[in-house]
Amino acid sequence: MSSADPTTPSAGTLYGVGLGPGDPELTTIKAARLVRDADVIAYHSARHGRSIARRIAEPHLSGTAIEEALVYPVTTETTDHPGGYQGAIDEFYTEAAARLAAHLDAGRDVVLLAEGDPLFYGSYMHMHKRLAGRYRTEVVPGVTSISGAAAALGRPLVERDEVLTVLPGTLPRAELARRLADTDSAAVMKLGRTFGTVRDALADAGKLDRAHYVERATMEAQRTGALGDVDAGDVPYFAIALVPGDIASSVPDQENDDHRIAPDPADPASVRGPGEVVVVGTGPAGRDWLTPQVAAALSVADDLVGYGPYLDRVPPNPRQTRYPSDNRVEAQRAAHALDLAASGRRVAVVSAGDPGVFAMAAAVLEVASEQKYRDVAVRVLPGLSAAQAVSAAVGAPLGHDHAMISLSDRLKPWDVVAARLRAVAAADLAIAIYNPRSKARPWQVGAAREVLLEHRSPDTPVVLGRDVGGAGQRITVTTLGELDPELVDMRTLVIVGSSTTRVVERGTGPVVFTPRHYETGTTTG
């Protein structure tokens, strides 16, 4: 690691930039300017890759900065690191600091984003401790989550000589209760898994009836209410408990103390703005494959519509209504979603993979083209496709020109499928084959292989990817001549290489890729 002098003119400056509690409009002018002009933008995230700090800063990003995503190796889960959880985190902070130091040594200014205020329970402080003594450092304060939560409630926390105490919810119940009893007003941070303990401590201190709950303060999905009414199983990490002081709470002539959690999805009048349909792709497997854009759309939806097994991939939320259906009723599903949106609901139509690849986007848009739905807003958000997932799992067999073809003849005749296979094979394109086999179509993989062999060598590499990203992931690398149809089922995606696709044996197994160039004299046939 570098030992650069903080006064070295050639070294960059580290900026710890507070972005406020969530609403991008609560970002200070200075913070927005630094984000816009940064050489390097850095931000922390958990392994799912979603960064709240980056999302807040997004309206101010120039699009030209280098981005450094500092992804925690663990959050609350266990680890096999020899130093345990703390050892894994300390190693991560050391490595992250080295990454930022490399940019600073090169003369680049680094803006490290932080939710709220950088030095208030923020991840930035760990980089500050490691780098502030070696580089020029400037901290830009931001609106804290406590300020944002108090504003969301519309309630003052302290008045005159009252004392506000800030507590982490990770303290033991008895210690929390003691400190809560000894203060006039309190803010308890880091709820999530600690919520039950915090609620019990508030009851022990005799302050549960005065406690308020704020979730995702100032963000679109903000919730507020009486803390005692909140379900512990529905509390995220970004939630806070507030207990205003007695003097601050005393408002003359105030008779109605509204503790309802709003909005109420069951009440159309409480839904913010007009309804819309958002068609989303959840990727090929679990949460790690979900894009932040899709996750945000799912988080604000009132209703989820989709094929039952795909809906099961979305964690349940009692605020939302689910409408599962069979996989063969796409038009009816689309019409149902559009009808719900027309009544003012926010509807997410859920597809696996990418909704625009043999999935629900086309079906929804086709039904939405009918006159009665012309005024219903429809958006399509992309997801990681099965073809991308399988290709990446084995290397880059789709690294050059390629095609995607579905073997299903439910919506088009087999003669059309076969003709397209011949055309693509003759054009020497790599092919990602969807829907290769079902109980009603066990013969089509073998038939497709024979069609392809009319134009492709038996030695052409073939990749079979089943349940990529899931617990049953299986990758098989074979050839077109040796392809066994019995290894293929409906959950398998088949990739057939082109004439230039290569298989290279490495220490970790075979790697398959299609070069992005053609050697002189390469022919198709």
The continuous run of DSSP H or E covering 325 comes out as strand 321-325
Last residue of some domain: 384, 413, 446?
A: 384
Asked if 367 contacts 331 with a C-beta cutoff of 8 angstroms, the reply is yes
Pairing of strands 509-513, 502-506: antiparallel
Do 309 and 412 reside in the same domain of the chain? no
At residue 75, the pLDDT reads 65
For the whole prediction, is pTM greater than 0.85? no
| Whether residue 407 sits in one domain with residue 484 | yes
- Write a three-state SS string for 164-209: EEEEECCCCHHHHHHHHHCCCEEEEECCHHHHHHHHHHHHHCCCHH
Both 364 and 409 in one domain: the answer is no
Q: Are residues 358 and 399 in the same domain?
A: no
158 in the same domain as 125:
no
Same domain as 118, residue 70 = yes
Asked which of 330, 352, 384 is the last residue of a domain, the reply is: 384
DSSP symbols for 459-509: T-EEEEEESTTSTT-EEEEEETTT--GGG--TTEEEEE--TT-EEEEETTE
Q: How far is it, in rounded angstroms, from Cα 204 to Cα 198?
A: 10
- The answer to the question of residue 524 being in a domain is no
Distance CA 23, CA 304 (A): 26
CB atoms within 10 A of CB 509: 9
Q: Which of 86, 244, 240, 237 is nearest to 167 (CA)?
A: 240
Residues 127 and 153 grouped into a single domain: no
Task: Please tell me whether residues 242 and 153 are part of one structural domain.
Answer: yes
- Entry field: residues in the chain: 525
Q: How far apart are the first and last CA of the chain?
A: 55
Sheet with 402-406, strands from edge to edge, namely 402-406, 430-434, 492-496, 461-466, 474-479
- CA-based nearest residue to 360, from 386, 387, 333, 384: 333
Rounded to a whole number of angstroms, the CA Rg of the chain reads 28
Nearest residue to 348 (alpha-carbon basis) of 298, 387, 386:
298
171 shares a domain with 111: no
> Which residues sit opposite 139 in a β-bridge?
16
Q: Which of 384, 417, 434 is a domain's end point?
A: 384
**Domain-located, residue 262:** no
CATH number of domain containing 283: 3.40.1010.10
State the CATH number of the domain containing residue 402: 3.30.950.10
478: left (phi > 0), else alpha (psi -120 to 50), else beta? beta
Could you give phi then psi for residue 155, rounded to 5 degrees? Answer: -130, 135
Does residue 406 sit in the same domain as residue 507?
yes
Residue 40: which residues within 8 A CB-CB, separation 6 or more?
12, 65, 66, 67, 68, 100, 103, 108, 109, 110, 111
- Domain presence at residue 525: no
For residue 256, tell me if it sits in a domain: no
Helix 360-368, helix 330-342: angle, nearest 10:
60
Q: Are 502 and 512 in contact (CB under 8 A)?
A: yes
- Of 323, 322, 314, nearest to 280 by C-alpha is 314
pLDDT 10s per residue in the chain (525 long)?
A: 344 455 566 899 999 999 999 999 999 999 999 999 999 999 998 877 788 999 999 999 999 999 999 998 876 656 667 777 788 888 999 999 999 999 999 999 999 999 999 999 888 999 999 999 999 999 999 999 999 999 999 999 999 999 999 999 999 999 999 999 999 999 999 899 999 999 999 999 999 999 999 999 999 889 999 999 999 888 988 899 999 999 988 866 544 444 444 444 444 444 445 799 999 999 988 888 889 999 999 999 999 999 999 999 898 898 999 999 887 788 999 999 999 999 999 999 999 999 999 999 999 999 999 999 999 999 999 999 999 999 999 999 999 999 999 998 888 899 999 999 999 999 999 999 999 988 878 898 999 999 999 999 999 999 999 989 888 889 999 999 999 999 998 889 999 999 999 999 998 889 999 998 877 555 444
Split into its structural domains, the chain has a count of 4
The answer to whether residue 337 sits within a structural domain is yes
Q: C-alpha distances in angstroms, 297 versus 152, 292, 312, 377, 382?
A: 22, 9, 16, 14, 12
24 lies in a domain? yes
Whether residues 242 and 329 fall in one domain: no
What are the φ and ψ backbone dihedral angles of 458, each rounded to 5 degrees? -60, -20
Sign of CA dihedral 468, 385, 496, 461: negative
In a domain, 318, yes or no: yes
Distance CA 442, CA 220 (A): 48
Task: Tell me, yes or no, whether 468 lies in a domain.
Answer: yes
| Short-list 345, 273, 285, 347, CA closest to 314 | 285
Alpha carbon 184 to its chain centroid, in Å, reads 39
Query: According to DSSP H, which parts of 1-40 are helical?
Result: 29-37
| 220 and 292 housed in the same domain | no
Enclosing domain of residue 150: 146-246
